[in-house]
């Protein structure tokens, strides 16, 4: 670049690798702000206006951020996203955050966004993985508590094959609720990261999941309105409060960093000790 072509008033950091943040929502933006300290940002959301508004806000704060509209349930759109990542690379980090909570849709829609969408993203971005690339898939405490029959999980593991809901319901022996779809989809993410660690490792990459507990976020607030179960669980949390989005960003930052360079194929549970307390309740 000659002196004549250097632009002013921009935050370009061509010397940094790219962090792909899938979700311009609450935890998505918290992750973007943290990873954007050392990465260029590609902020991805189905909601084009929300993604661009998020990226514009980040640019105003000094981040090198651009947006990309993508519905992660649309295989062709995910392929276009992978092309964009290839153009903007090198691909440093994926924070895959987007999901629907149980109040946000039917069981079928939840399986499609939370499970098929995440699998499509993993599949499309794998060829771009290089030495040091890290993927972090946001799962949930829900994956750790409650029943996930193995026969159901075997079907969930095949999320890219047709008739996902039908196969899961046949394995479950009944129609499933949106809460069950949420739990199964999040447990399947843990299994995806475990199963795919070897493939990512062949290219020098790492793949992990992160399970937040009860987090003070817009999605968390919606579930508090709609789920009496959360009101029962909160007082049982050994760290007696909701977690913050910043604490999830802390964990994402750690998993993406060199400090976690030997961590792959596992889940990091960031739940203030709730799942442990539930396991040992009444003992």
Ligand X SMILES: NC(=O)c1ccc[n+]([C@@H]2O[C@H](COP(=O)([O-])OP(=O)(O)OC[C@H]3O[C@@H](n4cnc5c(N)ncnc54)[C@H](O)[C@@H]3O)[C@@H](O)[C@H]2O)c1
The least CB distance from residue 121 to ligand X, in Å, is 9
**Binding to ligand X (CB under 6 A): which residues in 215-274?**
215, 217-220
**Binder among 18, 21, 26, 169 for ligand X (CB under 6 A):** 26
At 237, list the tokens.
């949390």
Nearer to ligand X by Cβ, of 73 and 123: the residue is 73
Positions 118 through 177 that interact with ligand X (CB under 6 A): 138, 140-141
Structure tokens at 243: 């977690």
The smaller minimum CB distance to ligand X, of residues 244 and 261, is found at: 244
Q: Which of 63, 91, 137, 182 is catalytic?
A: 182
Cβ neighbours of residue 34 closer than 8 Å, sequence gap 6 or more: 249, 250, 252, 253
Question: How many CA atoms does the CB half-sphere of 119 hold within 13 Å?
Answer: 20
State the binding string over 70-109 for ligand X (x if CB under 6 A, else -): xxxx-----------------------xxx-x--------
- The residue (of 91 and 137) whose beta carbon lies closer to ligand X is 137
- Segment 31 to 70, residues that bind ligand X, using CB under 6 A: 45-47, 50, 70
- By C-beta, is 28 or 205 nearer to ligand X? 28
Task: Give the Cα separation of 105 and 85 in Å (integer).
Answer: 29
Judged by CB under 6 A, the chain residues 184 through 223 that form the site for ligand X are: 212, 214-215, 217-220
For residues 200 and 196, give the distance between their C-alpha atoms in angstroms, rounded to a whole number. 6
Beta strand 40-45 with 18-22: parallel, antiparallel or unpaired? Answer: parallel
Note if 182 is an active site residue.
yes
Q: Which of 95, 199, 197, 97 is nearest to 139 (CA)?
A: 97
What are residue 12's phi and psi, to 5 degrees? -65, 130
Prior bond of 90 cis (ω within 30°): yes
**Burial per residue of 52-81, b for 16 or more beta-carbon CB atoms within 10 angstroms, e otherwise:** bebbebbbeeebbbbbbbbbbbeeebbeeb
Footprint of ligand X on 110-129 (CB under 6 A): 113, 117
Least distance to ligand X, CB of residue 96, Å = 8
Of 98 and 190, the one with the shorter C-beta distance to ligand X is: 98
| Residues contributing to the site for ligand X (CB under 6 A) | 23-28, 45-47, 50, 70-73, 97-99, 101, 113, 117, 138, 140-141, 212, 214-215, 217-220
Residues noted as catalytic = 182
């Amino acid at each position: 670049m000659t002196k004549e072509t250097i632009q002013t008033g921009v935050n370009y950091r061509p010397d940094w690798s790219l962090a792909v943040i899938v979700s311009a929502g609450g935890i998505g933006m918290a992750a973007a702000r943290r990873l954007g300290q050392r990465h260029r940002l590609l902020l991805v959301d189905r909601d084009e206006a929300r993604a661009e508004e998020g990226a514009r806000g980040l640019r105003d704060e000094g981040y090198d951020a651009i947006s990309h509209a993508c519905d992660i349930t649309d295989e062709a759109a995910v392929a276009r996203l992978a092309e964009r990542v290839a153009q903007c690379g090198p691909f440093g980090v994926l924070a895959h955050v987007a999901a629907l909570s149980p109040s946000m849709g039917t069981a079928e829609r939840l399986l499609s966004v939370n499970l098929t969408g995440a699998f499509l993203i993993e599949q499309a971005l794998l060829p771009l993985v290089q030495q040091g690339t890290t993927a972090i898939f946001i799962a949930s405490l829900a994956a750790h508590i409650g029943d996930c029959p193995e026969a159901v999980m075997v079907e969930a593991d095949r999320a890219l094959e047709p008739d996902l809901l039908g196969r899961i319901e046949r394995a479950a022996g009944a129609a499933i609720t949106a809460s069950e779809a949420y739990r199964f989809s999040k447990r399947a993410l843990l299994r995806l990261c475990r199963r795919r660690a070897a493939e990512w490792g062949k290219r020098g990459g790492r793949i992990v999941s992160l399970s937040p507990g009860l987090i003070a976020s817009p999605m968390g607030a919606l579930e508090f309105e709609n789920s009496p179960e959360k009101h029962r669980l909160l007082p049982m949390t050994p760290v007696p409060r909701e977690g913050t989005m910043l604490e999830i960003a802390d964990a994402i930052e750690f998993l993406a960093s060199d400090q976690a360079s030997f961590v792959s194929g596992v889940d990091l549970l960031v739940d203030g000790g709730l799942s442990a307390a539930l396991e040992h309740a009444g003992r």
